[in-house]
Amino acid sequence: MHWSEWKAKLQERSSRIVRDCSDLAKRTMKRTSSYIQSHKKQSLSIAAGLVLTIAAGASAQYYYTSNVNSVYHVSVNGKEIGVVNDPNVIHNWTVAKLEEEKAKTGLNLQLADYITFEEEREFKAPFNNDAAVQALASVADIKVQGVKLTIDGKVVGYMPDQQSADQVLAEVKQKYSGVPATTGNKAVVAAASTVPVKPNPVKEVAFKENVEMQTETVDASQILSAEKLEELLVKGTFKDMKHTVVEGDCIGCIAKKYGITSKDIYANNPGVTENTVLKLGQEINVTAVRPLVTVQVKEEVDQQEVIAFNTQIKNNDKVPKGETKVVQEGKNGSKTVKYEVVKENGQVVNRKVIKQDVTVQPVTQIMERGTKVIPSRGTGRLSWPASGYISSGFGQRWGSMHKGIDIAGAGSVMAADNGRVTFAGWNGDYGKSVIIDHGNGMKTLYGHMSVINVKAGDVVSQGKKIGVKGSTGQSTGVHLHFEVLQNGRNQNPIRYLK
């Protein structure tokens, strides 16, 4: 029976006792008066004695009834813990205790125990309010009506109410989606640094795991703060583990010891890299971050992409083999591609094309590839290697042998016959020079050039440009020095030029 019901019952019984005593006094006085009237003289002494007797009895009755009191046996979960004179003693202590605990925890608490009262009326019935309260304090089980959060059937923690739990889950989703989520009418606002200036349209944000919530009465000590629960969901733990570096430690060794990876250590310790030299006594955070939930975000991403041009190659039997030339320049095109991107805890795990539109068509590059085979063996009949006039002939000159002819004037230098380049570069007094072996015992030398357009190993055809006239080396002006060697001996080039 509740304490308020016991109070009402006590008041009713007290009123009934007062009425019964009043009725008894009235009846006694009435009988005494009647008796005295009918036996005024004969029974005066008897009446007086009777009055005294009745008065004494009434007095005794009044003393007894006035000292009969109600007490209440208090039981907690069916077990008696004490006796009080008023259920309010227990009620008031309970209210005060819950308010005291609420001030400490900020939670709305309740007494999980079932308290009952049993009334007993007895002459000067004993009770001890203080002892009953102390006994209750020692067994009182204060609980909170919390919300249990489970992930894939495993209990993660408890929150004080549904709204708090919803808000934490919304904030975890927002952490990886970048989109403010709402819990009821309240928006969860993200830090400015986590929200992109132009976020991609998000189609869906959901937990990959099965997340469930259920109301349950638990100890207040089991209730987590919002910050702790969020940290637990994101990191898998809210206790950081530290390792103190000792002699012989390395990043990989430390990671192996704690069952984590080197990447975990780098992520937990900004500034620590694979090149970091560890110091004795240095503390390393070795917390293994294993999120309890996976936030899966599906978003649409529009992206401009280049369409690479194709290259079409055509054979040309008029161009020497190994040479190519561009007939039509290629140009890249562009397209707009819409992707559906799936991220898990911020990392892209899937990406598929939904739609794509070509904005600029690419232009195919057309190239011609030479197929003409150029023999490395000369014909023996030399063509003029340059245009101009002969400024100095073959033979004795200024007291020494002039081994070739000089063709004066600016212009290009061509191969005098088919052959293979055996030298291309700086050649002492000849300056920039080229030597071609024509494969028939004949070689030609081209000296004093300003530019060389071939390299050693190249096979050239008769009339192929190999450079530009110049005045490099021991030279008095722009010209080409041209020599012909037959079986290693210099010959007069005029004899072989056609």
What's phi and psi for 493, nearest 5 deg? -55, -30
The two tokens of residue 330 are 């290629």
For 35-94, how does the pLDDT look when each residue is reduced to its tens digit (9 = 90+)? 555 555 444 454 445 444 445 455 555 555 667 788 999 998 889 999 999 999 989 988
Residues 64 and 24: beta-carbon distance below 8 Å: no
For residue 384, CA distances in Å to 326, 433, 463 come to 29, 17, 8
Closest by Cα among 412, 417, 399, 409 to 484: 417
Please give the mean pLDDT across all residues of the chain.
Answer: 82
For residue 27, CA distances in Å to 20, 21, 22, 36, 53 come to 11, 10, 9, 15, 15
**Confidence band for 27, pLDDT divided at 50, 70 and 90:** low
For 211-246, how does the pLDDT look when each residue is reduced to its tens digit (9 = 90+)? 999 988 887 778 888 888 888 888 776 567 899 999
Q: What is the mean pLDDT of residues 201-206?
A: 84
- In this predicted structure, what is the pLDDT of residue 324? 86
For 452-462, how does the pLDDT look when each residue is reduced to its tens digit (9 = 90+)? 999 999 999 99
Beta strand pairing status for 311-320 and 365-372?
parallel
- In this predicted structure, what is the pLDDT of residue 264? 84
